[in-house]
Structure 1
């Protein structure tokens, strides 16, 4: 399939070619036709598969086809974080440079008065985070009655962040039927199903690059560590390897991330920390340094990394193994973007074995164990895990098939 087969306007085809797109990605080929047809869409696609363009191109085609005399927006895009909202805006500007759609951002970190002024002007597309949008809806600062298409991006992240009620209350203010498209890296779990059932009507189901699939673009490995000091040695060995060009290292807690960053810096490694305590300006500065290659290693928490689009990340390293399988998918999705190959490495101490089992059950795949010369694990617990694998024992117990109720991403 080519972009010509999707019946895009010549203006958009020119923009697509200029942006370096050659052929539609699977999510674009699957999602664009039903969106054009006016159907609701429920799409599961991993980070880095081109899902933003999958809804931006139909939006731009709609703006070309249906010239509106109204000054109010006809399209609403909801994103869980302001960073993701800015990335969506960038894609709209890139692909719509010949159309020049008028986009208004409603997110935290931007002066509310300035956003009020922008809303008083003509607008085609609203991009908003749920909390700020609901606040402005309740204060009657924004009118959604002209909205015809709603896109909810990274819905699973919204639910993780507790934004589901804000989304529902905002959409409830729209008094007419509207087309709705929901995109999520994972479609598993009762929460997503309930959320989708409440906002979608007879949707087209699309499941590509499922959360439990090991894509060809990412190699997953486990390195067993006997203790914390052993884990540090494994980490520095990986970071200093020639293959590791730029690494995103995940910790489960901000205190742990700060401690690890200080230790890496003491080892003369170019490292910085990124967590939820930083304000927007600080976060942007650190992300810019990482993108531009001024910093090789960013140690992050899940809260800080939500919605980040970081190109050319060669390695994602789980220094702390996440509690949930879907969190693992979001983490490793920061590498192997587009056509690039990525590496996901998990540093596993004995107390991490249960979390590793949850991840493997979620992915329906056993992650291969790799040994570094002279740094192989020797502890009894790790030897027991190796023995289970060697005998092909099914070690994923029923008790681990669902994460504990208290397992939530923390910062």
Structure 2
């Protein structure tokens, strides 16, 4: 959260000094496009639809006005320990990330924030709600469970946010979202943020938002991938992908890197392979328990490991600005999955590199993605781990080999023979 922009400052847009100072402490003073456009409307309490590509600053686009209004808006009731704001997100990882970002911005405010998601004991979340919470960030299923149990009160929510609405549609959460929105029968502000606006999301907006202002942070018809992301695509033999990946990870200037796989099994295998080659690596996939996933993500964010192997379910939840490289170890099934994957780099003013390894049996998938997104690379070249073109394209040192050191343990993975505890 320490990247600058050339837009107006948060202070110039009328944000409370307590918030602007907290953001300045972590190097954030100027707004990005989506923030500049949404803040004046959101601070005024109006409903809005915010549309921008992933990595363009949507979290602070809704988070700053949400905190400002909960803290000091005349039409929001005094804080009494029942939630005044609810942020609904599609994944556990994104819930954690949004909660952390809001906590940073609210450092100087007497506003209590909690995150609620599945995979954690009910008791600790119920205790937090009973102790008193002002802002709740959570995933749909657990939010509904706690509301139905009477632990989560929604009758005083003044600000509702739907973040990554299109992803919630893709994951089948739309019925849960509608249940939560129907529970808010009183007057409140609703902000819906999404990278794309498929028909069901627009229908949802028409049903539940009151004359929303639709804001796009880029021109209609603009490219769906970041101009700041360099895309390198080539065909790779399935048996050579591990060696290719090991060499890419030795490229000059490589920092934090996310390696994406389609399946949980492949993600686990790739993480194990890279760790055995001496790389500092963590993993996030569905076969890992929630504590292990959180430990792995924390290790990646803090720099204890600089490589994270992830499945697509985690693509929206990894919200880190300083990722330099993304590697598509397996070609994604859908064009928008490709967009979301490579959107993890080239974020918030940074430059990045996205490398896609197209297996010989994945060429038709790639050609569909290429045609849909207009990437003009229907027949990528065939490169191997020893190809000079690979080394030249990614600035890999001539001496880069299969390993970089002694074998390591994958971050967050239980040691062999140890029973995982909850």
If the TM-score is normalised by the length of the shorter chain, which range does it land in? 0.7 to 0.9
Q: In the aligned structure 1, how far is the partner of 2:60 from the partner of 2:306?
A: 28
* 8 Å contact kept, 1:75–1:149: yes
Q: 2:64: which partner in 1?
A: 57
Q: In the aligned structure 1, how far is the partner of 2:145 from the partner of 2:31?
A: 37
TM-score normalised according to structure 2 size = 0.81
How far 1:54 moved relative to its partner?
A: 1.0
101-110 or 153-162: which moved more?
101-110
Q: In the aligned structure 1, how far is the partner of 2:140 from the partner of 2:205?
A: 16
SS of equivalent to 2:11: helix
* 8 Å contact kept, 1:185–1:330: no
* 8 Å contact kept, 2:315–2:340: no
Q: In the aligned structure 2, how far is the partner of 1:252 from the partner of 1:296?
A: 20
How far 1:372 moved relative to its partner?
A: 5.9
How far 1:47 moved relative to its partner?
A: 2.8
Alignment gaps of 5+ in structure 1: 378-411
* 8 Å contact kept, 1:212–1:362: no
SS of equivalent to 1:6: coil
Q: In the aligned structure 2, how far is the partner of 1:17 from the partner of 1:271?
A: 31
SS of equivalent to 1:8: coil
Q: In the aligned structure 2, how far is the partner of 1:97 from the partner of 1:234?
A: 44
What pairs up with 1:322-401 in 2 under 5 angstroms?
Answer: 322-367=332-377, 369=380, 375=387
Q: 1:388: which partner in 2?
A: none
Q: In the aligned structure 1, how far is the partner of 2:188 from the partner of 2:377?
A: 43
From 9, 34, 54, the equivalent of 1:27 is 34
Is 1:216 equivalent to 2:224 in the alignment? no
How far 1:218 moved relative to its partner?
A: 0.9
SS of equivalent to 2:108: coil
Q: In the aligned structure 2, how far is the partner of 1:281 from the partner of 1:158?
A: 23
Is 1:207 equivalent to 2:207 in the alignment? no
Q: 1:380: which partner in 2?
A: none
TM-score normalised according to structure 1 size = 0.83
Q: In the aligned structure 2, how far is the partner of 1:314 from the partner of 1:345?
A: 11
Q: In the aligned structure 2, how far is the partner of 1:165 from the partner of 1:149?
A: 20
Q: 1:14: which partner in 2?
A: 21
Q: In the aligned structure 2, how far is the partner of 1:120 from the partner of 1:274?
A: 31
How far 1:296 moved relative to its partner?
A: 3.5
Q: In the aligned structure 2, how far is the partner of 1:59 from the partner of 1:117?
A: 24
How far 1:70 moved relative to its partner?
A: 5.4
Q: 1:298 to 1:61 in 2, by over 3 A?
A: closer
From 45, 57, 70, the equivalent of 2:52 is 45
Q: In the aligned structure 1, how far is the partner of 2:282 from the partner of 2:137?
A: 30
Is 1:160 equivalent to 2:167 in the alignment? no
Q: 1:359 to 1:194 in 2, by over 3 A?
A: farther
Q: 1:301: which partner in 2?
A: 311
Q: 1:330 to 1:60 in 2, by over 3 A?
A: same
Q: 1:382: which partner in 2?
A: none
* 8 Å contact kept, 1:186–1:326: no
From 269, 273, 285, the equivalent of 2:295 is 285
Is 1:80 equivalent to 2:87 in the alignment? no
What pairs up with 1:91-110 in 2 under 5 angstroms?
Answer: 91-110=101-120
Q: 2:202: which partner in 1?
A: 193
Q: In the aligned structure 2, how far is the partner of 1:100 from the partner of 1:367?
A: 52
Post-superposition Cα deviations, 1:117-176, rounded to whole Å, max 9, x if no partner, equal 332344322222111111122222222111121001111221222211111112211222
Q: In the aligned structure 1, how far is the partner of 2:17 from the partner of 2:381?
A: 50
Q: 1:375 to 1:92 in 2, by over 3 A?
A: same
From 178, 187, 191, the equivalent of 1:181 is 191
Q: 1:36: which partner in 2?
A: 43
